[in-house]
Copies of this chain bind each other. A is one copy, B any other.
Amino acid sequence: MRILVINPNTTAAVTDLVAERVCAVAGDGATVIPVTGRFGARYIASRAAAAIAAHAALDALAEHLAGSGPPCDAVYLACFGDPGLAALREISPVPVVGMAQASCWAACSRGERFGIVTGGARWEPMLREFVSGLGLSERLAAIRTIATAGGEIARDPGAALARLAAACTACVSEDGADVVVLGGAALAGLAARIQPAVPVPVLCSVEAGAHAVLAAGKAGRCARSAPTADTIGLAPALARLLGGA
């Protein structure tokens, strides 16, 4: 099975972090094909950056499908916030799993009320709406962000670990969470490191999505639903994909 991992921000180091985690989860079961957004924000920390990332994710899928290699069996949209997820599903010939969606559902199957901890203050209202759109507002104990954005955490995770752990613990003691999602591509793998300091399970969003995309890839095919569209000004591969080619 081949998994296309799309990092819709434009920082290849984050893509590498994510790909490494997905490989670790997949073991021999799948080949990981990592791609990075070709345009947009280095780190996604606003609605504007997320809107552009949705386009970049579509572009990345189109490039992959137009490539000479074998097509993937499933797509992993590896940004906690899932920019462009519904649009990707519309044009993708294979299942698409979003990191935030998969993480929230995993959290709901592991506890009664979940907290989310991530980096970057603007994510709080964005994720609140995201969770509401999933119909899970009543299950959400809290969203806590630390001022350091995901990008900075990725560059120096050690400095952020204590603050992430403190935020996770506050989700439990102050907000009543019984499971916490550590959300964000740049935080890949940190959940295990802070788990000892947190009294409830801490889920790694990258791993939660990885488990889900492996399951989706095994379970099967999807139907492309988007009508064809004439376009201008897009990258050739995306234009062809939207045009029905």
B-contacting residues of A (Cβ < 8 Å)?
10, 25, 38-43, 45-52, 54-55, 58, 84, 86-91, 95-98, 101-102, 105-106, 108-113, 120-122, 125, 128-129, 132-139, 149, 176, 178, 199-201, 203, 207-208, 211-212, 214-216, 218-223, 225-227, 229-234, 242
Of the candidates A102, A111, A233, the one having the most CB atoms from chain B within 10 angstroms of its own CB is: A233
Residue of B nearest to A228 (CB): B46
Contact of B125 with A46 in the complex, beta carbons under 8 Å? no
Q: Which residues of B contact A149 (CB under 8 A)?
A: 227
Contact of A231 with B40 in the complex, beta carbons under 8 Å? yes
Contact of A230 with B134 in the complex, beta carbons under 8 Å? no
Q: Which residues of B contact A45 (CB under 8 A)?
A: 227, 229
Sample (29) of A-B pairs whose CB atoms are under 8 Å apart: A39-B231, A39-B232, A39-B233, A40-B234, A41-B231, A42-B229, A42-B230, A48-B229, A49-B229, A49-B242, A50-B87, A51-B54, A52-B54, A52-B55, A52-B231, A55-B55, A86-B112, A96-B109, A97-B109, A109-B212, A111-B222, A132-B138, A135-B136, A149-B227, A178-B223, A200-B223, A201-B221, A207-B219, A214-B215
Q: Which residues of B contact A95 (CB under 8 A)?
A: 109-110
Residue of B nearest to A59 (CB): B52
A108 to B55, CA, bound (A): 22
A81 CB to closest chain B CB, in angstroms? 12
Residue of B nearest to A125 (CB): B112
Give the number of times this chain occurs in the complex, counting copies: 6
Q: Which residues of B contact A87 (CB under 8 A)?
A: 46-48, 50-51
A139 to B199, CA, bound (A): 32
Add 4 more A-B contacts to A48-B229, A178-B225 (CB < 8 A).
A39-B231, A106-B215, A121-B227, A178-B223
Residue of B nearest to A50 (CB): B87
Q: Which residues of B contact A88 (CB under 8 A)?
A: 48
A137 to B91, CA, bound (A): 25
- Smallest CB-CB A-B distances: 8 pairs: A135-B135, A39-B233, A211-B215, A51-B87, A47-B87, A46-B226, A51-B54, A41-B229
Contact of B101 with A109 in the complex, beta carbons under 8 Å? yes
